[in-house]
Protein backbone atom coordinates (compact mmCIF):
# COMPACT_ATOMS: atom_id res chain seq x y z
CA UNK A 1 0.00 0.00 0.00
CA UNK A 2 1.80 3.05 -1.20
CA UNK A 3 -0.36 5.90 -0.04
CA UNK A 4 -1.39 4.88 3.42
CA UNK A 5 0.73 4.91 6.47
CA UNK A 6 -0.70 2.92 9.30
CA UNK A 7 2.35 3.40 11.40
CA UNK A 8 0.72 6.61 12.58
CA UNK A 9 -2.05 4.66 14.24
CA UNK A 10 -1.63 3.93 17.89
CA UNK A 11 -3.24 0.51 17.40
CA UNK A 12 -0.58 -0.47 14.92
CA UNK A 13 1.89 -0.82 17.74
CA UNK A 14 4.70 0.82 15.82
CA UNK A 15 6.07 3.94 17.34
CA UNK A 16 7.17 6.56 14.86
CA UNK A 17 10.55 7.03 16.46
CA UNK A 18 11.05 3.28 16.58
CA UNK A 19 10.30 3.09 12.90
CA UNK A 20 13.59 4.83 12.16
CA UNK A 21 16.19 2.31 11.21
CA UNK A 22 19.01 4.38 12.64
CA UNK A 23 20.40 2.09 15.33
CA UNK A 24 21.43 4.75 17.78
CA UNK A 25 18.02 6.38 17.75
CA UNK A 26 16.43 3.23 19.08
CA UNK A 27 17.30 2.70 22.72
CA UNK A 28 15.64 5.80 23.98
CA UNK A 29 13.91 5.18 27.28
CA UNK A 30 11.62 7.93 28.59
CA UNK A 31 13.71 11.04 28.59
CA UNK A 32 12.12 13.31 31.16
CA UNK A 33 8.75 13.74 29.48
CA UNK A 34 9.30 15.85 26.34
CA UNK A 35 6.52 14.58 24.09
CA UNK A 36 5.85 15.82 20.58
CA UNK A 37 2.33 16.62 21.68
CA UNK A 38 3.54 18.96 24.43
CA UNK A 39 5.85 20.73 21.99
CA UNK A 40 2.94 21.15 19.57
CA UNK A 41 0.79 22.63 22.32
CA UNK A 42 3.51 25.10 23.23
CA UNK A 43 3.96 26.05 19.57
CA UNK A 44 0.25 26.77 19.14
CA UNK A 45 0.21 28.84 22.34
CA UNK A 46 3.27 30.76 21.16
CA UNK A 47 1.64 31.59 17.82
CA UNK A 48 -1.53 32.71 19.59
CA UNK A 49 0.50 34.82 21.99
CA UNK A 50 2.46 36.47 19.17
CA UNK A 51 -0.81 37.17 17.39
CA UNK A 52 -2.39 38.66 20.53
CA UNK A 53 0.70 40.72 21.27
CA UNK A 54 1.00 42.20 17.80
CA UNK A 55 -2.66 43.13 17.89
CA UNK A 56 -2.34 44.66 21.36
CA UNK A 57 0.73 46.70 20.39
CA UNK A 58 -1.09 47.64 17.18
CA UNK A 59 1.88 46.65 15.05
CA UNK A 60 -0.56 45.95 12.25
CA UNK A 61 -3.84 47.65 11.52
CA UNK A 62 -6.87 45.57 12.66
CA UNK A 63 -8.08 45.68 9.05
CA UNK A 64 -5.18 43.40 8.24
CA UNK A 65 -4.95 41.45 11.46
CA UNK A 66 -7.80 41.62 13.99
CA UNK A 67 -7.04 40.58 17.55
CA UNK A 68 -7.85 37.06 18.78
CA UNK A 69 -10.46 38.54 21.07
CA UNK A 70 -12.14 40.31 18.13
CA UNK A 71 -12.19 37.08 16.13
CA UNK A 72 -13.65 35.21 19.09
CA UNK A 73 -16.39 37.76 19.66
CA UNK A 74 -17.12 37.69 15.94
CA UNK A 75 -17.41 33.93 16.16
CA UNK A 76 -20.01 34.30 18.92
CA UNK A 77 -21.94 36.99 17.10
CA UNK A 78 -21.99 35.15 13.76
CA UNK A 79 -22.99 31.97 15.56
CA UNK A 80 -25.95 33.81 17.10
CA UNK A 81 -26.95 36.48 14.64
CA UNK A 82 -25.39 35.24 11.45
CA UNK A 83 -23.50 36.90 8.63
CA UNK A 84 -24.82 37.55 5.11
CA UNK A 85 -28.26 36.21 5.94
CA UNK A 86 -27.25 32.93 7.54
CA UNK A 87 -25.96 31.81 10.91
CA UNK A 88 -22.59 30.14 11.24
CA UNK A 89 -24.28 26.79 11.75
CA UNK A 90 -26.20 27.24 8.50
CA UNK A 91 -22.98 28.08 6.64
CA UNK A 92 -21.25 25.04 8.11
CA UNK A 93 -24.19 22.77 7.33
CA UNK A 94 -24.37 23.98 3.73
CA UNK A 95 -20.67 23.33 3.21
CA UNK A 96 -20.67 19.95 4.93
CA UNK A 97 -23.72 18.84 2.94
CA UNK A 98 -21.94 19.69 -0.33
CA UNK A 99 -18.78 17.88 0.70
CA UNK A 100 -20.66 14.79 1.83
CA UNK A 101 -22.86 14.67 -1.27
CA UNK A 102 -19.65 14.89 -3.31
CA UNK A 103 -18.06 12.16 -1.20
CA UNK A 104 -20.98 9.81 -1.84
CA UNK A 105 -20.73 10.51 -5.56
CA UNK A 106 -16.96 10.01 -5.53
CA UNK A 107 -17.35 6.67 -3.73
CA UNK A 108 -20.09 5.47 -6.09
CA UNK A 109 -17.93 6.24 -9.11
CA UNK A 110 -14.40 5.96 -7.72
CA UNK A 111 -14.57 2.56 -6.02
CA UNK A 112 -15.86 0.69 -9.11
CA UNK A 113 -13.37 2.56 -11.30
CA UNK A 114 -10.56 1.66 -8.91
CA UNK A 115 -11.69 -1.97 -8.91
CA UNK A 116 -11.66 -1.99 -12.71
CA UNK A 117 -8.16 -0.51 -12.77
CA UNK A 118 -6.89 -2.99 -10.22
CA UNK A 119 -8.53 -6.09 -11.64
CA UNK A 120 -8.45 -5.80 -15.40
CA UNK A 121 -5.87 -4.65 -17.90
CA UNK A 122 -8.59 -3.16 -20.07
CA UNK A 123 -9.96 -1.25 -17.10
CA UNK A 124 -6.52 0.11 -16.35
CA UNK A 125 -6.02 1.04 -19.99
CA UNK A 126 -9.27 3.00 -20.03
CA UNK A 127 -9.28 4.78 -16.68
CA UNK A 128 -5.62 5.30 -15.84
CA UNK A 129 -4.95 8.01 -18.46
CA UNK A 130 -8.27 9.74 -17.69
CA UNK A 131 -7.47 9.92 -13.98
CA UNK A 132 -3.89 11.00 -14.58
CA UNK A 133 -5.24 13.78 -16.78
CA UNK A 134 -7.81 14.89 -14.22
CA UNK A 135 -5.70 14.57 -11.10
CA UNK A 136 -3.26 17.51 -11.46
CA UNK A 137 -5.82 20.06 -12.72
CA UNK A 138 -6.69 22.63 -10.04
CA UNK A 139 -10.46 22.88 -9.41
CA UNK A 140 -10.44 26.60 -10.21
CA UNK A 141 -9.39 25.69 -13.76
CA UNK A 142 -12.31 23.41 -14.56
CA UNK A 143 -14.88 25.33 -12.53
CA UNK A 144 -15.76 27.70 -15.43
CA UNK A 145 -16.32 24.79 -17.80
CA UNK A 146 -18.58 23.04 -15.33
CA UNK A 147 -20.60 26.22 -14.93
CA UNK A 148 -20.96 26.49 -18.71
CA UNK A 149 -22.13 22.90 -18.86
CA UNK A 150 -24.24 22.55 -15.74
CA UNK A 151 -25.16 26.10 -14.74
CA UNK A 152 -24.62 27.86 -11.46
CA UNK A 153 -26.83 25.66 -9.28
CA UNK A 154 -26.04 23.26 -6.49
CA UNK A 155 -25.12 20.32 -8.79
CA UNK A 156 -22.17 22.26 -10.23
CA UNK A 157 -20.74 22.94 -6.77
CA UNK A 158 -21.05 19.30 -5.75
CA UNK A 159 -19.55 18.19 -9.04
CA UNK A 160 -16.47 20.39 -8.64
CA UNK A 161 -15.80 18.90 -5.22
CA UNK A 162 -16.57 15.37 -6.40
CA UNK A 163 -14.09 15.64 -9.27
CA UNK A 164 -11.39 16.67 -6.83
CA UNK A 165 -12.24 13.60 -4.73
CA UNK A 166 -12.49 11.11 -7.54
CA UNK A 167 -8.80 10.48 -8.22
CA UNK A 168 -7.76 9.78 -4.62
CA UNK A 169 -10.69 7.38 -4.11
CA UNK A 170 -10.13 5.51 -7.38
CA UNK A 171 -6.34 5.35 -7.16
CA UNK A 172 -6.35 4.19 -3.53
CA UNK A 173 -8.91 1.53 -4.37
CA UNK A 174 -6.76 0.37 -7.29
CA UNK A 175 -3.64 0.30 -5.11
CA UNK A 176 -5.51 -1.74 -2.51
CA UNK A 177 -6.77 -4.19 -5.12
CA UNK A 178 -3.33 -4.64 -6.61
CA UNK A 179 -1.88 -5.16 -3.14
CA UNK A 180 -4.04 -8.21 -2.36
CA UNK A 181 -1.68 -11.10 -1.72
CA UNK A 182 -1.52 -13.72 -4.44
CA UNK A 183 -1.72 -16.51 -1.91
CA UNK A 184 -4.94 -15.12 -0.48
CA UNK A 185 -6.51 -15.15 -3.94
CA UNK A 186 -5.19 -18.62 -4.72
CA UNK A 187 -6.52 -19.90 -1.42
CA UNK A 188 -9.97 -18.48 -2.10
CA UNK A 189 -10.03 -19.89 -5.62
CA UNK A 190 -9.00 -23.33 -4.40
CA UNK A 191 -11.84 -23.11 -1.87
CA UNK A 192 -14.23 -22.77 -4.79
CA UNK A 193 -14.68 -18.99 -5.13
CA UNK A 194 -16.04 -17.79 -8.48
CA UNK A 195 -14.75 -14.56 -10.00
CA UNK A 196 -17.58 -12.50 -8.57
CA UNK A 197 -17.26 -14.15 -5.15
CA UNK A 198 -13.55 -13.40 -5.26
CA UNK A 199 -14.23 -9.69 -5.71
CA UNK A 200 -16.98 -9.58 -3.12
CA UNK A 201 -15.46 -11.79 -0.42
CA UNK A 202 -11.71 -11.37 -0.84
CA UNK A 203 -10.60 -8.44 -2.98
CA UNK A 204 -12.94 -5.76 -1.61
CA UNK A 205 -12.33 -6.56 2.06
CA UNK A 206 -8.58 -6.82 1.41
CA UNK A 207 -8.61 -3.41 -0.24
CA UNK A 208 -10.78 -1.80 2.44
CA UNK A 209 -7.90 -0.31 4.49
CA UNK A 210 -6.56 1.31 1.34
CA UNK A 211 -10.02 2.52 0.28
CA UNK A 212 -10.53 4.17 3.66
CA UNK A 213 -7.17 5.89 3.36
CA UNK A 214 -8.34 7.13 -0.04
CA UNK A 215 -11.52 8.50 1.54
CA UNK A 216 -9.45 10.32 4.12
CA UNK A 217 -7.30 11.93 1.42
CA UNK A 218 -10.42 12.65 -0.67
CA UNK A 219 -12.16 14.41 2.22
CA UNK A 220 -9.10 16.61 2.61
CA UNK A 221 -9.02 17.37 -1.10
CA UNK A 222 -12.77 18.02 -1.22
CA UNK A 223 -12.75 20.26 1.81
CA UNK A 224 -9.98 22.40 0.35
CA UNK A 225 -11.93 22.69 -2.93
CA UNK A 226 -14.89 24.07 -1.02
CA UNK A 227 -13.97 27.72 -1.30
CA UNK A 228 -13.56 27.42 -5.06
CA UNK A 229 -16.88 25.63 -5.38
CA UNK A 230 -18.65 28.33 -3.40
CA UNK A 231 -17.16 31.15 -5.50
CA UNK A 232 -20.15 31.21 -7.79
CA UNK A 233 -23.72 32.04 -6.91
CA UNK A 234 -23.72 30.51 -3.47
CA UNK A 235 -25.89 32.02 -0.79
CA UNK A 236 -24.58 29.91 2.04
CA UNK A 237 -21.42 28.08 2.98
CA UNK A 238 -18.14 28.78 4.72
CA UNK A 239 -16.32 29.61 1.49
CA UNK A 240 -19.10 32.00 0.50
CA UNK A 241 -19.02 33.58 3.95
CA UNK A 242 -15.28 34.25 3.73
CA UNK A 243 -15.52 35.74 0.27
CA UNK A 244 -18.41 38.00 1.17
CA UNK A 245 -16.53 39.17 4.24
CA UNK A 246 -13.40 39.83 2.19
CA UNK A 247 -15.34 42.04 -0.21
CA UNK A 248 -16.31 44.30 2.68
CA UNK A 249 -12.91 43.99 4.39
CA UNK A 250 -14.50 42.36 7.42
CA UNK A 251 -11.22 40.70 8.23
CA UNK A 252 -12.29 39.24 11.56
CA UNK A 253 -14.95 37.14 9.81
CA UNK A 254 -12.38 36.05 7.24
CA UNK A 255 -9.98 34.88 9.94
CA UNK A 256 -12.79 33.28 11.90
CA UNK A 257 -13.95 31.41 8.77
CA UNK A 258 -10.46 30.14 8.08
CA UNK A 259 -10.17 28.83 11.62
CA UNK A 260 -13.57 27.15 11.45
CA UNK A 261 -12.59 25.45 8.17
CA UNK A 262 -9.34 24.24 9.73
CA UNK A 263 -11.06 22.94 12.84
CA UNK A 264 -13.69 21.07 10.82
CA UNK A 265 -10.99 19.52 8.61
CA UNK A 266 -9.22 18.37 11.74
CA UNK A 267 -12.47 16.91 13.08
CA UNK A 268 -13.20 15.05 9.84
CA UNK A 269 -9.74 13.53 9.87
CA UNK A 270 -10.25 12.44 13.46
CA UNK A 271 -13.63 10.87 12.70
CA UNK A 272 -12.42 8.91 9.69
CA UNK A 273 -9.45 7.58 11.66
CA UNK A 274 -11.92 6.37 14.26
CA UNK A 275 -13.93 4.69 11.51
CA UNK A 276 -10.77 3.05 10.18
CA UNK A 277 -9.99 1.62 13.57
CA UNK A 278 -13.50 0.23 13.89
CA UNK A 279 -13.81 -1.11 10.36
CA UNK A 280 -10.33 -2.45 9.65
CA UNK A 281 -8.81 -3.35 13.02
CA UNK A 282 -6.52 -5.84 11.29
CA UNK A 283 -4.69 -3.24 9.20
CA UNK A 284 -1.02 -3.19 10.11
CA UNK A 285 -1.35 -6.21 12.38
CA UNK A 286 -1.20 -9.06 9.93
Partner 1 sequence: MPQLVLDKISIHYDGQAAPAVERVSIDVAKGDLVVLVGRSGCGKTSLLNVAAGLVTPARGSASVNGQPITGPGSDRAVVFQNDALFPWLTARENVAFSLRLRGVRPAERARRADALLDLVKLGGAGGKHIWELSGGMRQRVGLARALAAEPEFLLLDEPLGALDALTRERMQTTLLDLWTASQAGLLMVTHGIEEALVLATRIVVLAPGPGRVVRTFEPNFSRRYASGEAIRTIKADPAFAAARGDLTDAIFEGEAA
User: What is the contact surface with partner 1 in residues (CB under 8 A)?
Assistant: 181, 183-184, 186-194, 197, 201-202, 205-206, 208, 280-282, 285-286
Give the separation between CA 207 and CA 195, rounded to whole angstroms: 16
Please report how close the Cβ of residue 13 comes to partner 1 at its closest, in angstroms. Answer: 10
Give the separation between CA 284 and CA 277, rounded to whole angstroms: 11
Please report how close the Cβ of residue 194 comes to partner 1 at its closest, in angstroms. Answer: 8
Listed in sequence order, the residues at least 6 apart from 181 whose beta carbon sits closer than 8 Å to its beta carbon are 206
Q: Which is closer to partner 1, CB of 241 or CB of 280?
A: 280
Q: Which is closer to partner 1, CB of 86 or CB of 202?
A: 202
Please report how close the Cβ of residue 204 comes to partner 1 at its closest, in angstroms. Answer: 10
Handedness of CA 200, 204, 206, 209 (dihedral sign): negative
Please report how close the Cβ of residue 172 comes to partner 1 at its closest, in angstroms. Answer: 18
φ, ψ for residue 32, nearest 5 deg: 20, 60
Q: Which is closer to partner 1, CB of 30 or CB of 182?
A: 182
Whether residue 66 contacts residue 251, with contact meaning beta carbons closer than 8 Å, is answered with yes
Whether residue 78 contacts residue 259, with contact meaning beta carbons closer than 8 Å, is answered with no
Residue 72's Cβ-count burial label (10 Å; 0-12, 13-18, 19+) is: middle
Please report how close the Cβ of residue 9 comes to partner 1 at its closest, in angstroms. Answer: 14
Q: Which is closer to partner 1, CB of 43 or CB of 194?
A: 194
Give the separation between CA 92 and CA 121, rounded to whole angstroms: 42
Please report how close the Cβ of residue 201 comes to partner 1 at its closest, in angstroms. Answer: 7
Q: Which is closer to partner 1, CB of 130 or CB of 187?
A: 187
Straight-line distance from the first to the last Cα atom of the chain, in angstroms, rounded to the nearest whole number = 13
Q: Which is closer to partner 1, CB of 88 or CB of 215?
A: 215
Q: Which is closer to partner 1, CB of 121 or CB of 190?
A: 190
Please report how close the Cβ of residue 191 comes to partner 1 at its closest, in angstroms. Answer: 4
φ, ψ for residue 14, nearest 5 deg: -115, 120
φ, ψ for residue 86, nearest 5 deg: -150, 145
Amino acid sequence: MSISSYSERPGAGIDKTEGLSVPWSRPRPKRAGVSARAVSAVTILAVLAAWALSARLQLVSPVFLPSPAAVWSKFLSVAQNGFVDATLLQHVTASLARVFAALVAAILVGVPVGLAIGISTVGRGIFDPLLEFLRPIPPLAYLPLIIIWFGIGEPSKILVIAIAMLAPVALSTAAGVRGVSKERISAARSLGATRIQLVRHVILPSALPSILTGLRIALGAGWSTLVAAELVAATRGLGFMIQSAAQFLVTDVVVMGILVIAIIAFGLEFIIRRIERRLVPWAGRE
